[in-house]
Every structure is written in C-alpha cells, then in structure tokens.
Amino acid sequence: MPFEYDRGADSYCAACLAKPPKHDGIRAAVKYDDLSAKVALRLKYSGKIGLARVIAQQLVRHLPEDRNNIIITPVPLHWTRMWSRSFNQSALIGRAISAQSGIAFVPDILVRHKRTPSMRGLNANGRRKAVGQAFSVHPKWQGRLKGSRIILIDDVLTTGATSDGCISVLKRSGASWIQLFCWARAQRGESAGQK
C-alpha cells in the first residue's frame, strides 16, 4: 500500500511483509475515486480511446531507469468481450506507454480462455473465484519468458485478483520480475463499482 511519504524502494507495508505479493511492485497514476472512475469508464465503455494516451503520460514517469529486457503486455480480454467492445483498454494504454518510452509492447503473451463475469460489485473472494484458471500463456510464448522482465498493464486495480491470476501464470512460465501498471488503484477497503 502507498505510504504517506516516499520511504524508498525497499520499504514494504505491513500487509506485504506478512504475506509477500506475487508482483514486484504496483505503479498507479491515481487513487481510485469518482473522478478517476469516470476516466476509466469513458475509456472502457464510451470509446474515448484518446484517454489511453493521457493515462500513459501519467504512467511513463513510473518506468524503471533500467529498461533493458523489459516487455509491456496487457491483461487480456476474453475474445467475446473483445468482439463486443472492439478494443482492449489495457492494450491501448500499454501501446501508448510503449510509443512514449520505446519499450517493446507485446499484446499477445497472455490469453484469457475463460470468460469471467463483470467484476463490478464482487468482493475479493468473488473476484478470485471468478478469475481462477482464466489465464494462460499463449502457446507461442511457452518457453520464451525465462528471466524476462514484464510490465503488466491493467486499467484499474481493486482487489488484485485479476493481476494475481496473470502474474501467477507469467512467473510459472519463467518471468523473473513483474510490475503492475494501472491508471487507478482502490485503497484497501474500497472497491471499484461498490461506491
């Protein structure tokens, strides 16, 4: 969780000390609130895809200085959602970060092979259950991720169930370092869609 002031890269909150996270850090542009939710929803459901560039501009400042061997990849959508929406908002953000930073963008490392219900209104346990076994590494990337450093892009982080599902399969496939980049992050006890 964020501290009130910067305590350095090696400082961890009590929850992370008690139960180390699967990821190697989270970088969010803003706290999840009514205004940041409007931005995310306009990108996701109103087709305001130019907002992806605006979000990327806020996230680029969080990129590590050492950018060697880093790959940017998005949390994938199930093909039925992709078909109905016509774009993946996380992929748009990732592509914009790549364009602004020069870091490679690889949109197809992960596959969402199980359609999950909308996460809005689900608690942490419901979200974990919904995304369980939903993700896999695309067959063409099997055996090619050993030692890789990955920035995983999602639009909003609430409980972390979706990102944990993605991170688990990436680490099992050999990725050595994974940071999650997102537009907005809900603070503990707050959940997107439950306001």
- The full set of domain ranges for the chain reads 23-185
Distance CA 195, CA 191 (A): 7
Assess whether pLDDT exceeds 60 at residue 101. yes
pLDDT tens digits for 115-168?
Answer: 776 666 666 676 767 677 789 999 999 999 999 999 999 999 988 889 999 999
Coil, strand or helix: which one is 81?
Answer: helix
**Angle made by CA atoms 130, 132, 62, in degrees to the nearest 5:** 90
Tell me what percent of the residues of the chain surpass a pLDDT of 70: 85
Distance CA 126, CA 164 (A): 14
**Higher pLDDT among residues 16 and 81, named by residue:** 81
The whole-number pLDDT of residue 5 equals 67
The whole-number pLDDT of residue 85 equals 81
For tokens 């490679």, the residue is: 104
Residue 4, both tokens? 């009130």
Q: What is the pTM of this model?
A: 0.85
34-38, 131-135, 136-140, 176-180: segment of lowest average pLDDT: 131-135
Q: Is the CATH number 3.40.50.2020 carried by domain 23-185?
A: yes
Q: Which residues pair with 157 in a beta bridge?
A: 185
pLDDT level of residue 58 (50, 70, 90 thresholds): very high
**Angle made by CA atoms 181, 75, 51, in degrees to the nearest 5:** 60
pLDDT level of residue 195 (50, 70, 90 thresholds): very low
The whole-number pLDDT of residue 194 equals 39
Assess whether pLDDT exceeds 60 at residue 69. yes
